[in-house]
């Protein structure tokens, strides 16, 4: 699938900027060109609220990220409801319906059905694991309700003919792999071993990284998958160490990623270790394996390091305000948190533009082109439904319990 490249700068100057809940839309036209008058839109009669479902892993597999998304959604919804969502000539609130799928794909499918049939939601946000995301999208696509999925597996949004109502916010595995390969080549590391989780998230890395390494002229020595249903990664780590690779990429979600780093170090590996964005949770730097993580690199959207020191754009101010509110309310901030807030703001803005809450009408409005969110730019179009634009991805290194941008 060919994805149009739309830079973050283009998104800011020629697209739409989303404030964190304020839905600040800024569309510019070329210098000297008068802006076209906005078409008159009549709001859907009888609508008193926008109902959005959240299908999250609040317990079980994926709960490390599911809880972060719940917190982000509550912050974003509170900000929208502080003034109400502009809906034609009036304002309406956003109502969240949050349900726990327990990290079980079958439960995620059932919850999706319940949100559509019982709660009559206009859109659904959720799926922090590839497995739950895939089970949710099967229902959402059949019922023609937009699903804004938070997982990063490339299979979530393709093939597009079977994913017309599915939009992915997490970074594409192929984009992450390209950034990793570029940085590894810059550091003149000639060979790489890949240690990947046994789930769909890890599968994305096993497909994308070897291709990116080959394109960069870097030797891929081996791919080792972590074992299923065990906390002992010693054997897998020994295989990585035996490969003699000059760099190791660990492709797994927290907290597995930090445990894998510790196992690789315990096996005697002394080279450089790189992580994909799935490791970007507080637990990676504060958990029991935080000491082993020090000195590792991670590719992640820029918001991993916290609020920007200067905020001169609508998206920069939105990121700063969201992070400050998140810390104020929950004590600490996680770089994975903004995805759900971006998803809710995208749905709310689509409803605002359409002045309608019908799921099929929202689908059309979600495909607005370049949109700048808190985590970065999204370019949902009829030919592309995800994920985060690659311009948002940068390299960080772990130093004394913090991610330092390089």
| pLDDT of amino acid 24 | 41
For 136-172, the pLDDT digits (tens) are 999 999 999 999 999 888 889 989 899 999 999 999 9
Residues 272 and 311 both lie in one domain: no
Q: Which residue has the tokens 């295989």?
A: 239
How does residue 331 score in pLDDT terms, banded at 50, 70 and 90? confident
Residues 400 and 288 both lie in one domain: yes
Asked if residue 395 has pLDDT above 80, the reply is yes
Q: Tell me the three state secondary structure of residue 93.
A: coil
pLDDT mean over 19-29:
39
Distance of alpha carbon 126 from alpha carbon 147, whole angstroms: 8
| pLDDT of amino acid 316 | 77
Asked if residue 5 has pLDDT above 50, the reply is no
Residues 368 and 230 both lie in one domain: no
Distance of alpha carbon 211 from alpha carbon 175, whole angstroms: 11
Residues 226 and 81 both lie in one domain: no
Residues 167 and 178 both lie in one domain: no
| pLDDT of amino acid 308 | 65
CATH of the domain at 109: 3.40.50.2300
Residues 238 and 301 both lie in one domain: yes
Q: Which residues pair with 371 in a beta bridge?
A: 16, 378
| pLDDT of amino acid 244 | 96
| pLDDT of amino acid 14 | 37
Asked if residue 3 has pLDDT above 50, the reply is no
Residues 48 and 158 both lie in one domain: yes
Q: Is 365 in contact with 94 (CB distance < 8 Å)?
A: no
| pLDDT of amino acid 35 | 39
Contacting residues for 394 by C-beta, under 8 A, at least 6 apart: 179, 299, 300, 301, 302, 405, 406
Give domain status of residue 222, yes or no. Answer: yes
Task: Look at the chain and count its residues.
Answer: 406
Residues 97 and 164 both lie in one domain: yes
Residues 58 and 161 both lie in one domain: yes
Give domain status of residue 39, yes or no. Answer: no
Contacting residues for 403 by C-beta, under 8 A, at least 6 apart: 280, 285, 298, 300, 304, 305, 335, 396, 397
Question: What's the chain's Rg over C-alpha atoms?
Answer: 21
Distance of alpha carbon 208 from alpha carbon 176, whole angstroms: 8
What is the DSSP pairing of strand 402-405 with strand 393-399?
antiparallel
| pLDDT of amino acid 54 | 98
Q: Which residues pair with 220 in a beta bridge?
A: 192
For 38-61, the pLDDT digits (tens) are 455 677 877 899 999 999 999 999
Hey, which bits of 121-230 come out as E strands? 123-126, 147-149, 166-171, 191-196, 219-225
For 58-95, the pLDDT digits (tens) are 999 999 889 999 999 999 999 999 999 999 889 999 99
pLDDT mean over 317-323:
85
How does residue 31 score in pLDDT terms, banded at 50, 70 and 90? very low
- Percent residues over pLDDT 70 in the chain: 87
Residues 145 and 23 both lie in one domain: yes
DSSP state of 332: S
Give domain status of residue 38, yes or no. Answer: no
Q: Which domain holds residue 98?
A: 8-28+44-171+307-392
For 170-221, the pLDDT digits (tens) are 999 999 999 999 999 999 999 999 999 999 999 999 999 999 999 999 999 9
Give domain status of residue 1, yes or no. Answer: no
| pLDDT of amino acid 369 | 72
DSSP character string of 256-325: HHHHHHHHHHHTT--SEEEE-GGG-SHHHHHSTTHHHHTT-EEEEEGGGG-S-S---SHHHHHHHHHHHH
Q: Tell me the three state secondary structure of residue 37.
A: coil
State the total domains in the chain: 2
For the entire predicted model, the pTM comes to: 0.86
How does residue 10 score in pLDDT terms, banded at 50, 70 and 90? very low
Provide the terminal-to-terminal Cα distance of the chain, rounded to the nearest Å.
31
Chain CA centroid to CA 69, Å? 10
Q: Is 222 in contact with 269 (CB distance < 8 Å)?
A: no
Distance of alpha carbon 103 from alpha carbon 83, whole angstroms: 34
Distance of alpha carbon 3 from alpha carbon 385, whole angstroms: 9
Q: What is the dihedral of CA 180, 183, 188, 194, to 10 degrees?
A: -10
Give domain status of residue 336, yes or no. Answer: yes
Give domain status of residue 143, yes or no. Answer: yes
Vertex 130 angle, CA 128 and 132, to 5°:
70
| pLDDT of amino acid 376 | 87
DSSP state of 392: G
Q: Is 235 in contact with 226 (CB distance < 8 Å)?
A: no
Residues 97 and 48 both lie in one domain: yes
For 105-134, the pLDDT digits (tens) are 999 999 999 999 999 999 999 999 999 999
| pLDDT of amino acid 18 | 58
Residues 185 and 201 both lie in one domain: yes
């Amino acid at each position: 699938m060919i994805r149009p490249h739309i830079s973050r700068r283009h998104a800011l100057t020629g697209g739409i900027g989303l404030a964190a809940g304020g839905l600040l839309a800024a569309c510019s036209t070329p210098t000297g060109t008068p802006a076209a008058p906005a078409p008159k839109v009549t709001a859907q009669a009888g609508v008193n609220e926008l109902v959005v479902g959240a299908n999250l892993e609040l317990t079980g597999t994926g709960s490390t990220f599911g809880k972060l998304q719940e917190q982000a959604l509550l912050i974003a919804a509170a900000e929208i409801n502080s003034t109400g969502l502009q809906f034609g000539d009036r304002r309406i609130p956003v109502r969240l319906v949050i349900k726990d799928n327990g990290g079980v794909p079958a439960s995620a499918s059932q919850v999706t059905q319940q949100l559509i049939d019982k709660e009559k939601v206009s859109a659904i946000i959720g799926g922090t694991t590839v497995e739950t995301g895939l089970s949710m999208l099967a229902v959402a696509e059949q019922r023609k309700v937009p699903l804004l999925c938070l997982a990063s597996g490339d299979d979530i949004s393709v093939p597009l003919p079977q994913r017309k109502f599915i939009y992915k916010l997490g970074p594409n595995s192929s984009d992450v792999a390209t950034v990793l390969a570029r940085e590894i080549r810059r550091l003149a590391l000639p060979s790489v071993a890949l240690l990947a989780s046994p789930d769909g998230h890890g599968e994305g890395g096993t497909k994308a990284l070897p291709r990116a390494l080959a394109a960069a002229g870097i030797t891929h020595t081996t791919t080792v998958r972590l074992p299923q249903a065990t906390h002992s990664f010693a054997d897998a780590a020994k295989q990585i160490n035996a490969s003699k690779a000059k760099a190791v990429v660990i492709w797994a979600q927290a907290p597995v990623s930090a445990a894998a780093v510790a196992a690789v170090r315990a096996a005697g590996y002394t080279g450089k270790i790189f992580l994909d964005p799935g490791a970007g949770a507080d637990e990676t730097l504060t958990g029991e394996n935080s000491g082993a993580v020090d000195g590792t690199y991670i590719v992640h959207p820029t918001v991993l390091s916290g609020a920007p020191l200067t905020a001169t754009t609508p998206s920069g101010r939105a990121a700063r305000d969201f992070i400050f509110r998140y810390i104020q309310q929950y004590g600490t901030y996680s770089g994975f948190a903004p995805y759900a807030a971006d998803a809710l703001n995208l749905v709310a803005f689509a409803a605002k533009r359409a002045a309608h809450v019908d799921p099929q009408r929202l689908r059309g409005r979600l495909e607005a082109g370049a949109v700048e969110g808190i985590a970065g730019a999204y370019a949902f179009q009829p030919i592309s439904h995800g994920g985060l634009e690659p311009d948002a991805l940068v390299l960080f290194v772990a130093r004394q319990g913090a991610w330092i941008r390089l």
